[in-house]
Amino acid sequence: MLSLSLVIPTFNEAENIQPLLLQLSSLLDHALPDRYELIVVDDDSPDHTWALAAELQPKLPMLTVLRRQSDRGLATAVVYGWQQAQGEILGVIDGDLQHPPETLLALLETMQAGTDLAVASRNVTGGGVSDWSLWRRFGSRGAQLLGLLVLPEVLGRVSDPMSGYFMVRRSALDLNRLQPRGYKILLEVIAKGRIRHIQEVGFVFRERSQGESKVTSREYWDYLRHLLQLRLQRWESSRFLKFIGVGATGVIVDSLVLYLLHDSSQLGLPLLLSKFIAAEVAIFNNFMLNDAWTFRDLAKGSQKRYWSRRFLKFNLICSLGIFLNLLILSLLVEGLKLHYLPSNWVAIAVVTLWNFWLNRKLTWVG
C-alpha cells in the first residue's frame, strides 16, 4: 500500500500546475520514493489545466489526472480524488502555489509520528499570511468566529479551520459519509472523522502570482450552509437529543391517556390509578421509540430477541426516576423553601440525565 495520496484540486491553473507538480514530485521522490501518488482533480477547466497536467505523466509515473465533468467545487473534488486514492495517508494541497510545497515534509513527519490529522496553519508559530489587507484578515477571522459559535466542538480543535492544506489518516475517515459543500473540506473531516489527535504546522500563505482566486460570494453562502448542515447532522446523530425528543412525546402520551382515563367527561377513573396507567403507556411509547431510533444501533442484531428484557430494565429505571423526581421536588420545596415551578424543572433535568445515563449503561449496552 502507498503511504501518501496527495490530491491537488484545480480549476483554471494552467500557469501553475506544471511547476507545482514538478516541485511536489522532487520533494516526495526524496521523502517517500515510490510510496506516494499525486492526484490532480480538475473540473474540466476551460484553460485545459487537465491536459497540461497529463503532459507530465510520462515523466511522473506516480501522477494521476482526473478530469471531472460531472460536478464542480473544491471540496467535492478533494473527496472525489481521495475515493480513487491508494494511500494510507490522504492529503490535499492547492494547485496555485499559494501553499508552499516544503511544508509537506513537516506534515508528513507529524503523520509518521502517529497523529490522525496534520494541519498546515497560518495561526501558529511559523505561520502567517503575506500581505493581506486589514479587510481581508478581518473577513477571514470573522468567518472563523462565526464558525466557532455554530460548531465550537469542530472549529475549536484547530487554530486555522479554514486551511485547505492538510493530511489525514485514511482509517479515520469514512469517505462515503463526507458530504462537503463549498470550500471547507477540513471542517467536514474534523466533524465526521474519528480524529483523536491533531497536530498543526505553521505555514505562510503565499500570494498568488499566476491566475486568479475562484472565491465568489457563492463560497460565503456555501460556507454558511455547510456550517448549518453540519450543526443539524451532529444534533441528529446526538443520542441525548434524540432521547429528549422521545421524552417529549412521552409527556404528550401521558397527558392524553391521563385525560381519557380520569376526566369526568371521559372514563372518570380515580386519579392515582389513571396516572399509573398513563405513566406505563408513556414508558412503553418511549421504550419503543428509543429502541427503534435513539439506540437503534445498540438494539439491533442478535440482542433484538431480548427486547422484553430491555423493556423491563427501561421500565424499572424510569419508575425509579419518577420517585427520584418526587424526592428532589419535595427536598427543594419543603427543605430549601424554593418555588415549586423552578424546583420541578431542576427535578426534571436531573431525572432526564438519570434516565439517559442508566439506560445507556444498563439497557442499551455497548
Binding residues for ligand GDD, per CB under 6 A?
A: 9-11, 13, 41-43, 72-74, 77, 94-96, 98, 162-164, 183, 213-215
Q: Does residue 16 bind Mn ion (CB under 5 A)?
A: no
Of 175 and 292, nearer to ligand GDD (C-beta) is 175
How is residue 208 annotated by DSSP? P
Of 23 and 112, nearer to Mn ion (C-beta) is 23
Of 96 and 116, nearer to Mn ion (C-beta) is 96
326 in Cβ contact with 275 (< 8 Å): no
Q: Does residue 160 bind Mn ion (CB under 5 A)?
A: no
What is the C-alpha separation between 323 and 333, in angstroms, rounded? 15
Give the shortest CB-190-to-ligand GDD separation in angstroms. Answer: 13
The one among 96, 160, 188, 200 contacting Mn ion by CB under 5 A: 96
Of 120 and 332, nearer to Mn ion (C-beta) is 120
The one-letter code for the residue type at 20 is L
183 in Cβ contact with 213 (< 8 Å): no
Pairing type for strands 36-42 and 63-67 reads parallel
What is the C-alpha separation between 91 and 168, in angstroms, rounded? 6
What is the C-alpha separation between 284 and 299, in angstroms, rounded? 16
Binding string, residues 100-139; x marks residues near Mn ion by CB under 5 A: ----------------------------------------
- Please count the residues of the chain: 366
Q: Does residue 343 bind Mn ion (CB under 5 A)?
A: no
Give the shortest CB-213-to-Mn ion separation in angstroms. Answer: 5
Element (H, E) at 288: helix 271-289
Specify which residues 67 forms β-bridges with. 42
Element (H, E) at 136: helix 134-150
Give the shortest CB-98-to-ligand GDD separation in angstroms. Answer: 5
Of 96 and 291, nearer to ligand GDD (C-beta) is 96
- Give the 3-state secondary structure of residue 328: helix
Among the listed ranges 79-87, 88-96, 122-130, 187-195, the one in contact with Mn ion (CB under 5 A) is 88-96
Q: Does residue 13 bind Mn ion (CB under 5 A)?
A: no
The one among 3, 5, 45, 98 contacting Mn ion by CB under 5 A: 98
How is residue 278 annotated by DSSP? H
